[in-house]
Copies of this chain bind each other. A is one copy, B any other.
Amino acid sequence: MLQQLVQRIVGELEAIPLIDPHTHINPHAPASKTLADILGYHYYTELAHSAGLPREQIEEPGIDPKEKVRRLVPKLADLDNTVQVSWLLEMCREFFGFDDDRITESNWEALYDGSAKQMAAGDWEQQVLRKSRLDAVFLTNDFDDPLTGFDTLRYVPCLRTDDLVFHLPRPETRERLAEATGVEPHSASDVRTAIGKLFGHFKRNGARACAISLPPEFEPGPVTTAAANDALHDAFTRCENPDSPFVLSRFVFWTIAEMCAEHGLPFDLMIGVNRRVYEGGVFQGQDLFDQRTSLILYRELFNAFPQVMFPISVLAQVSNQELVSYSWIFPNVVTNGHWWYSNIPAYIETDCRSRLQGVPRNKQIGYYSDMYKLEFALPKFAMYRRVLANVLAADFVVARGWSEERAVALGRQVLRGNVEQVFRC
């Protein structure tokens, strides 16, 4: 009976068209062309590598897409327990009519060839969007992206700022910034001017958010102009002062927060990733984390920018209670999705329950796909909807006597309504 209730709620939630508020979609090639685009997703390559497949086989330069899939498929047998492989099967079932319960060495080739034919259709992208009920997806744009050649209402620009905050000491970053803005970043004032120009460019092209991923130890704070100038000077002269990169990071980050205030953009913070922990790992499968982090590091930021909304993702699941609590107290802190290593049902369920029990309903963005190819929105949102439906059924309809309609309305708000409200889209 509870299962029937859950099924009815899932059905209602499935009817809600989605805006996906964080993806890595390339708007010039949003959908997959072959199964290699799907199996090439870092979740599969890193799991296959972790289970024993040498990186050299996965990442052989110039490897043919079909050959890549041929090499990965046998390894799926070691991964079929993972929720990531369950997404793969759901995609193959829903998009390509696959109806075996596993992808194996004996059935993969038919799947590969058949799916390639379907993906070759001129309207494949539209088919995927329609079947996935996707109205719009947010992008992750480099700061020097021209933002041309695509429909910015469907593919919503979002200014990704990791390079600016963490890599300004690199000559190539400064060159890209100068090229994009016409401003050489020699002084704090130059940097501010250049970043202001980037914001203007993104705003003119319909950007709805600024975003960044941050290491666990990062602590934002204001930096004096003098200190910023010194740090910039060190960067340009390759001086060895080991503090300069940190000062510069803080300065650029704080300047970006000021621009978010000025231009009315939310600032998505994705907190807690250590980059390149496993240097022998596959592409995008090298990053991990240190659970010893705290939102207390963001205390000064949240106080200084009451007019900026901060949708926050945490990488460590143990950070979720802090996120619940900070969102419960700070008007400008919003919970955002279930990121990366926390994006499995066991963790989503705890996060979802605690957020729905403790955070105002208008301050929760339930889910984003983080996808690189459009096909992934379908199984990922489906996973989230099932967890959400279970929580709505058990904690609201059963435990609190809510009507199904009321529970579904709460689900609609965290799935869709708050995306529109927080990002004004």
Q: Which residue of B lies closest to A331 (CB)?
A: B50
Interface centre among A51, A81, A293 (most CB of B within 10 A): A81
| Interface flag for A60 (CB, 8 Å) | no
Q: How far is the CA of A288 from the CA of B344 in the complex (A)?
A: 27
Q: How far is the CB of A282 from chain B (nearest CB, A)?
A: 9
A326 adjacent to B357 (CB under 8 Å): no
- Which residues of chain A in 40-94 are interfacial with respect to chain B, using CB atoms and an 8 Å cutoff? 46-47, 49-52, 78-84, 86
- Which residues of chain A in 257-316 are interfacial with respect to chain B, using CB atoms and an 8 Å cutoff? 274, 277-281, 285-286, 288-296, 299, 302-303, 306, 316
| Interface flag for A399 (CB, 8 Å) | yes
A357 adjacent to B345 (CB under 8 Å): yes
- Which of B285, B322, B331 lies in contact with A52, CB distance below 8 A? B331
Query: Hey, what's the 0/1 contact readout for A396-409 against B, CB within 8 Å counting as 1?
Result: 10011110001000
| Interface flag for A154 (CB, 8 Å) | no
B328 adjacent to A302 (CB under 8 Å): no
A317 adjacent to B306 (CB under 8 Å): no
A321 adjacent to B347 (CB under 8 Å): yes
B330 adjacent to A358 (CB under 8 Å): no
Q: Is the interface of A mostly helix, strand, loop or mixed?
A: helix
Q: Quick one: given A296-B277, A357-B83, are A328 and B78 in contact (CB under 8 Å)? A: no
Q: Quick one: given A321-B291, A341-B321, are A354 and B358 in contact (CB under 8 Å)? A: no
| Interface flag for A319 (CB, 8 Å) | yes
Q: How far is the CB of A242 from chain B (nearest CB, A)?
A: 19
| Interface flag for A318 (CB, 8 Å) | yes
Contacts of A49 in B (CB 8 A): 331
| Interface flag for A346 (CB, 8 Å) | yes
A361 adjacent to B331 (CB under 8 Å): no
Q: How far is the CB of A190 from chain B (nearest CB, A)?
A: 33
- Which residues of chain A in 335-391 are interfacial with respect to chain B, using CB atoms and an 8 Å cutoff? 341-342, 344-347, 350, 353-354, 356-363, 386
Q: Quick one: given A280-B303, A291-B318, A363-B50, are A285 and B329 in contact (CB under 8 Å)? A: yes
- Which of B78, B277, B293, B325 lies in contact with A362, CB distance below 8 A? B78
Q: Quick one: given A49-B331, A81-B361, are A347 and B354 in contact (CB under 8 Å)? A: yes
Q: Which residue of B lies closest to A345 (CB)?
A: B357
Q: Quick one: given A83-B358, A280-B303, A361-B79, are A317 and B328 in contact (CB under 8 Å)? A: no
| Interface flag for A395 (CB, 8 Å) | yes
B296 adjacent to A329 (CB under 8 Å): no
B289 adjacent to A329 (CB under 8 Å): no
Contacts of A161 in B (CB 8 A): none
- Which of B79, B289, B290, B395 lies in contact with A345, CB distance below 8 A? B395
Q: How far is the CA of A328 from the CA of B343 in the complex (A)?
A: 13
B278 adjacent to A302 (CB under 8 Å): yes
Q: Quick one: given A279-B303, A303-B278, are A78 and B318 in contact (CB under 8 Å)? A: no
Q: How far is the CA of A344 from the CA of B352 in the complex (A)?
A: 13
Contacts of A302 in B (CB 8 A): 278
| Interface flag for A139 (CB, 8 Å) | no
Q: Which residue of B lies closest to A321 (CB)?
A: B317
B331 adjacent to A321 (CB under 8 Å): no
A361 adjacent to B80 (CB under 8 Å): yes
- Which of B277, B321, B330, B350 lies in contact with A299, CB distance below 8 A? B277
Q: 23 pairs across A/B with beta carbons < 8 Å?
A: A47-B328, A51-B362, A52-B362, A78-B362, A79-B361, A81-B396, A82-B360, A84-B358, A274-B296, A277-B329, A278-B303, A281-B329, A288-B325, A288-B326, A289-B322, A290-B296, A292-B293, A318-B321, A324-B341, A325-B341, A344-B357, A345-B357, A346-B354
Q: A82-B360, A280-B306, A345-B399 are in contact. List 16 more A-B contacts (CB 8 A).
A: A50-B330, A52-B331, A79-B360, A81-B360, A82-B357, A83-B358, A101-B402, A274-B296, A280-B303, A288-B329, A316-B322, A341-B358, A344-B358, A345-B395, A346-B353, A346-B357
